[in-house]
Homo-oligomer: A and B are copies of this chain.
Amino acid sequence: MDQDFMNRFMPRIHDVLFRDEDHWRSHAYQVAIHSTRMCNLGFVVRGYGVLEVNGNSYELGPGCFYQISPPGSRMKFSTDEADPLLYIAVHFDYRLVQWEGMDMSSKESGSAIPMPHMLALDAVSEVEEQFRRLHQLWNGKQPGYEWRSRILLMELLDGIERKQAAPSLAVLRAEEAIRKAMEHIHAHYKQPVNRDQMARNCSMSVSYFALLFKKIAGYSYVNYVHKVRMDKAKILLRSGLAPISEVAFEVGYQDPLYFSKLFSREVGLSPREYRKG
């Protein structure tokens, strides 16, 4: 899952339902929504059917995960009368949260959840178990079920892509290269290789490298360098008494004013204030 999305994802669950034969019978084995009002994701436990989202068709069967987003999508479920789809569905909406300095804001995303509309999962047991737990947790309504369900939904979303059928070797290699690039930044944060050079080192186009880096690290390459430096600076500020200018230099900035500006923008406190706790 896109880590930048996960960092900012703040869902509100509306319901967690088990769709059974009764549901299909009462809907004549077909449900169509012209314009959805919220996000819907689910897991097929048994049966067969077809999901259409904005004109694309996906065949569903046991072990399939689906998601229908963003709100405003056109969708249609239809199922086999002889072997109707039994599935667990979660309806929710969400905001993306953003911190700037000391301010937090949130906005509607308007775009789809960054994952496929359908995935036929290989190892189903764990995801099915998570969906069943979510269904139980939500409908059990024990104290704390709301925030616990939120956490479970996040873990579920994050885990699903990793559980799908093995990705291609090319994708695995590309991801490994990004991880190496992240490690390089950690080891050489004072003066890491610049982005375009790094893309070349990874044998990727700059645009693909940039896209993949953001997806995996959750930050653009340049922002990730800043972030790692700020994290190092935080530790130095907290654990020693070195002057700010020395901390700035230590983490790769020649200009302590520039460092202080960046730090204040990211953290919401100046380095001096941060040190004071």
- CB-CB < 8 A to A195: which residues of B? none
Interface residues on A, range: 35 or more
- Determine which of B10, B144, B239, B273 lies in contact with A97 in the assembled complex, contact meaning CB atoms within 8 Å: B10
Selected from B26, B104, B146, B277, the residue in CB contact (under 8 A) with A10 is: B104
Q: Are A17 and B154 in contact (CB under 8 A)?
A: no
Q: How many copies does the complex hold?
A: 2
Which residue of the partner chain B has the closest CB to A185? Answer: B141
Query: Do the beta carbons of B104 and A104 come within 8 Å of each other?
Result: no
Q: Is the interface of A mostly helix, strand, loop or mixed?
A: mixed
| Interface membership of chain A positions 241-277, coded 1 if the CB is closer than 8 angstroms to chain B and 0 otherwise | 1000000000000000000000000011100011011
Query: Is B144's CB under 8 angstroms from A238's CB?
Result: no
Give the 8 A-B CB pairs with smallest separation, nearest first.
A33-B277, A95-B104, A6-B147, A15-B234, A7-B146, A3-B144, A7-B147, A3-B143
| A interface, CB within 8 angstroms of B | 1, 3, 6-7, 9-10, 12, 14-15, 17, 22-23, 26, 33-34, 36-38, 40, 75, 91, 93, 95, 97, 99, 102, 104-106, 141, 143-144, 146-147, 151, 154-155, 158, 179, 182, 186, 216-218, 228, 231, 234-235, 238-241, 267-269, 273-274, 276-277
